A and B are shown apart, each in its own frame.
Chain A
């Protein structure tokens, strides 16, 4: 046996890097899980506390330069004793903002009677509200991280197939992988879809609704560009604006400029907005008639809005993984064109329709290659240039770094243009005398071209066969190819022969038939190459099905072409 097994993919260094990579997942997941367990316990235990009458003694909104809080004090009687509490919530609650603080103030004014929840075993411990239990569902996310991390490490260090254990036991166990792959894909779908909804879809839906809300006069109280420390050492910015307006005879404070959430490194447009909103300016704001605290100054999206497309890449990848899971996990199928896989994993030969002329399908139609490259170029360049254009004037290092990605994007775009030009090439059409041919058999191949064949100066048609082995190295999947048959059937510069013709192809008897397993393939094909000066060449592969010798009896010899 002359098979060589790659040593690099199994090297200790490669395994070490992969282990480090997956360890980060596992550690991050464990840390977050610990946080959720702690926060979840604090939330859940409040649901065992006793509901008790209380009276609000004082309540006020607490504003600081970058946060909003709600200060409350209340008294209650428990077990014959009086207590004073000042805790608004027990456990997890969404972050307090100006709107939620105003809602809390309206719900718990001074002197109001309310309910609070008291820890019976320690009556001094109480809260007005209990945290949301559904938030604990987010605890599933760190579990997925842990599963990916631990599973990845096990995968990296597991015994190389074939080194031990019954092969048949491994093959039996291989069918359970679909669920795992689908769970993995679901993480991408949930994260990508969730972020895309928050960053892109939800703001757009709100804008559409807000366009119909009544506009009411409002006065700008303050405005500034908020500066926040970024995770990579730089700064991110926000429009920090406060304005007041009156609804139903009551004054409200709004803090939302528009419906976009979060901060970004884009300073320019925010500075322009802040300059246009000086303190004391009278303007109009859009107010939700069903909720006077739901108000914005602008129903236009910010230039950062299109960052919301970036999570879409995760969504697409997740959907791809999810729906390709059965194919990825399938083991033991052998599926050439006229050979199907049995349940046991062996090829079964279809006997019906085994004869007759068949037009071959091109392996990768030029339109598909162009569409795939064009889509990739659009996504790549869209993301890179969106980030590049949002950079501030002083972020030179980031500009240089992103310039490398922009140059790669340019190369991809050039490749897409090359593929576009190839779409205008004359296209070969190949017809064979039978849909499949056994080893040692003969196949009649006819060719013709559609389009302007006179542009071709040299035409070559070859019979090729190659091995294709797909394997994982770290986190990437690679396919290696090795050609074992490359026989030129036609090699001519005589233009009179280009338009159409035929050749007899004799398939070698002592080689291997077509073999298509998920990770290993033997591919037989007819390769057509047309040389076109100063233009992308015609380069097309047409797979053919070569069957084992024993199936020769299924095929009738074709009559010679007149």
Chain B
């Protein structure tokens, strides 16, 4: 049995903010390893991309334990959602072997709100003033 929780159930963060939480696991046998990972990944029409931004590994984990963790929210990529692509962030707690996991999706963006991209078909008229040199 595993559990993952974020401090004060916060799921939206600004870049640089601390993402903190705790994990709990209970097994009959000693697990080979346990890690909390901060990951980003894409979702949408394109083939999935992603990366592991940071990892907190619990070396030599006992059969049952509770641990705390914290990450600094990185500068980017921001959480956003467009017509074709979305970038999501998540905190994952993974126990090996077997890969049992829990995931909490979070938002990392300047105003702690997912950015929504508009869709534009035609150029907007106007623009900024041009001047000859």
Contacts and interface: CB of A to CB of B under 8 A. Distances in A.
B98 to A, nearest CB: 11
Interface in A512-537: 512-513, 515, 517-520, 522
Nearest to A488: B127
Nearest to A472: B47
Contact of A500 (B85, B121, B133): B133
B75 A469 contact: no
B11 to A, nearest CB: 14
Nearest to A9: B45
B76 A548 contact: yes
A469 B46 contact: yes
Interface stretch (A23-31, A252-260, A310-318, A331-339): A331-339
A501 B130 CA distance: 7
B115 A512 contact: yes
Contacts of B83: 2-4, 467, 482, 484
B43 interface: yes
B77 A489 contact: no
A65 B129 CA distance: 86
A530 to B, nearest CB: 15
B92 interface: yes
Interface string A50-88: 000000000000000000000000000000000000000
B23 interface: no
B133 A484 contact: no
Nearest to B14: A550
A107 to B, nearest CB: 60
Contacts, number: 225
A244 B84 CA distance: 73
B47 A347 contact: no
B52 interface: yes
Contact of A3 (B35, B82, B103): B82
Interface in B30-65: 35, 37, 39-55
Contacts of B124: 486-488
Contacts of B51: 171, 331-334, 341, 344-346
Given A168-B92, A171-B39, A515 B117 contact: no
Interface in A148-173: 161-162, 165-172
B94 A166 contact: yes
Contact of B125 (A5, A481, A488): A488
Interface string B119-133: 111111111111111
Contacts of A557: none
A492 interface: yes
Contacts of B49: 331-332, 517-520
Q: Which of A3, A341, A462, A522 has the most CB of B within 10 A?
A: A3
A449 B69 CA distance: 56
Residue of B35, B40, B75 most packed against chain A (CB within 10 A) = B75
Contacts of A172: 52
Interface in A99-152: none
A483 B84 CA distance: 10
Interface string B75-96: 1111011111111001010100
B111 to A, nearest CB: 8
Nearest to A346: B53
Interface residues of A, number: 73
Interface in A445-489: 446, 460-462, 467-472, 480-489
Contacts of B133: 446, 500-502, 561
A520 B39 contact: no
A346 B128 CA distance: 34
Interface centre among A461, A467, A471 (most CB of B within 10 A): A467
Given A1-B81, A549-B110, A550-B15, A496 B120 contact: no
Contact of A510 (B15, B75, B84, B115): B115
Interface residues of B, number: 61
B41 A483 contact: no
Contacts of B48: 161-162, 170, 519
A285 B99 CA distance: 73
B101 interface: yes
B16 to A, nearest CB: 7
Q: Give the most central of A170, A490, A549: most B CB within 10 Å.
A: A549
Nearest to B132: A501
Contacts of B130: 461, 489-490, 492, 497, 501-503
A252 to B, nearest CB: 62
A347 B77 contact: yes
Given A5-B44, A168-B92, A489-B130, A467 B76 contact: no
Nearest to B48: A161
Given A166-B94, A171-B52, A483 B43 contact: no
A456 B99 CA distance: 62
Contact of A489 (B92, B115, B127): B127
Contact of B131 (A331, A334, A501): A501
A520 B82 CA distance: 11
A470 B85 CA distance: 10
A183 interface: no
Contacts of A515: 76-77, 87
Given A168-B92, A467-B84, A502-B133, A489 B128 contact: yes
A484 B82 contact: yes
A357 interface: no
Which of A467, A504, A515, A520 counts the most chain B CB atoms within 10 A? A520
Contacts of A471: 45-47
Contacts of B39: 167-168, 171
5 contacts: A166-B101, A332-B52, A471-B46, A517-B49, A519-B49
Q: Which 10 residue pairs of A and B lie closest in terms of their CB atoms, listed nearest first?
A: A345-B51, A332-B51, A469-B46, A517-B49, A161-B48, A166-B101, A469-B84, A482-B83, A519-B47, A168-B37
Given A497-B132, A549-B110, 12 more contacts: A1-B43, A2-B81, A6-B45, A168-B37, A481-B84, A484-B119, A501-B131, A512-B82, A512-B115, A520-B47, A548-B75, A550-B15
Interface of B: 15-16, 35, 37, 39-55, 74-78, 80-87, 90, 92, 94, 99, 101, 103, 110, 114-133
